[in-house]
């Protein structure tokens, strides 16, 4: 009898077709509102720079200068860079990987500047023998820095979610990162808004009501618009768990 070769039943190793990427939404009203947020952030930073150098530069002046650069400008732009409604990112045609890369690089630089600015305020209080964290501005700033700790830890973990998925779901890591980051930016944003009510701002601006209104309007708008998308994403993910 002739031997008949029987092929073993080997499962197919065909690769699954990749899911088609969603096309970004066409430019609309939200893109225009994001552009306004960019303008507000830049205007506030220019305003603080003007107030820092319009008078003799002092040791404490580093605090508003570094915080306006680190928190208001870099932190806000670092969050907006991953937004789908950012026309700047749309023009640069950045993919998701590059957006995340710029996101953590910009926020890392921002946090370093914010931490230095925070230390300057603490050292200045010690030099003047004043009590710490008596104002809402200072308290909100402290809360935002504390909230940055879990955001940084989970943000780092999110970069290695493939290796960590055996121990914890990547969706949970990302949710904790987004929630803690949103809380951090919320309280940091409140501290920035309240900065226009501080004695330093009043003294540097000579109680100019127009500069006060400019600072208040630019901070309020940019903080509210930057927060709206992360807040919605956090609520949606919470309901999915």
Q: Is residue 7 part of a domain?
A: no
pLDDT in tens, 48-80: 999 999 989 999 999 999 999 999 999 999 999
CATH label of the domain that carries residue 133: 1.20.120.1770
Averaged pLDDT score across all residues of the chain = 86
| % of the chain with per-residue pLDDT over 90 | 60
Q: Is residue 1 part of a domain?
A: no
- Helices 209-240 and 170-194 meet at what angle, rounded to 10? 160
Question: Does 139 score more than 80 pLDDT?
Answer: yes
Q: Is residue 102 part of a domain?
A: yes
Question: Does 26 score more than 90 pLDDT?
Answer: no
pLDDT-based confidence at 153, cuts 50/70/90? confident
Close Cβ partners of 124 (under 8 Å, ≥ 6 residues apart): 59, 60, 63
Q: Is residue 65 part of a domain?
A: yes
pLDDT in tens, 172-195: 778 888 889 999 999 999 999 999
Using DSSP, state whether 135 is helix, strand or coil.
coil
Q: Is residue 16 part of a domain?
A: no
Q: How many domains in the chain?
A: 1
Query: Which range of residues forms the domain containing residue 125?
Result: 29-240
Q: Which of 114, 124, 170 is nearest to 144 (CA)?
A: 114
Question: Does 11 score more than 70 pLDDT?
Answer: no
Q: Which of 216, 212, 205, 200 is nearest to 54 (CA)?
A: 205
pLDDT in tens, 159-172: 666 566 666 777 77
Mean pLDDT to the nearest integer, 11-34: 63
Q: Is residue 126 part of a domain?
A: yes
Q: Is residue 203 part of a domain?
A: yes
Q: Is residue 36 part of a domain?
A: yes
pLDDT-based confidence at 12, cuts 50/70/90? very low
């Amino acid at each position: 009898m002739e031997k008949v070769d029987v092929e073993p039943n080997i499962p197919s190793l065909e690769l699954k077709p990749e899911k088609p990427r969603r096309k970004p939404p066409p430019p609309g009203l939200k893109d225009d509102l994001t552009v306004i947020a960019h303008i507000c952030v830049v205007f506030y930073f220019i305003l603080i720079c003007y107030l820092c150098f319009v008078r003799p530069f002092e040791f404490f002046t580093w605090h508003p200068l570094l915080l306006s650069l680190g928190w208001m400008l870099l932190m806000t732009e670092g969050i907006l860079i991953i937004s789908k409604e950012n026309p700047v990112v749309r023009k640069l045609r950045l993919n998701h990987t590059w957006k995340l890369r710029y996101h953590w690089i910009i926020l890392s630089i921002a946090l370093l500047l914010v931490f230095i600015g925070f230390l300057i305020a603490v050292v200045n209080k010690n030099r003047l023998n004043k009590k710490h964290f008596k104002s809402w501005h200072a308290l909100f700033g402290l809360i935002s820095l504390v909230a940055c700790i879990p955001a940084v830890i989970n943000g780092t973990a999110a970069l290695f979610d493939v290796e960590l998925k055996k121990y914890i779901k990547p969706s949970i890591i990302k949710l904790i990162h987004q929630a803690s980051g949103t809380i951090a930016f919320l309280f940091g944003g409140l501290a920035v808004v309240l900065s226009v009510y501080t004695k330093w701002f009043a003294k540097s601006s000579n109680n100019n009501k127009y500069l006060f209104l400019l600072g208040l309007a630019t901070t309020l708008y940019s903080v509210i618009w930057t927060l709206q998308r992360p807040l919605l994403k956090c609520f949606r993910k919470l309901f999915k768990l």
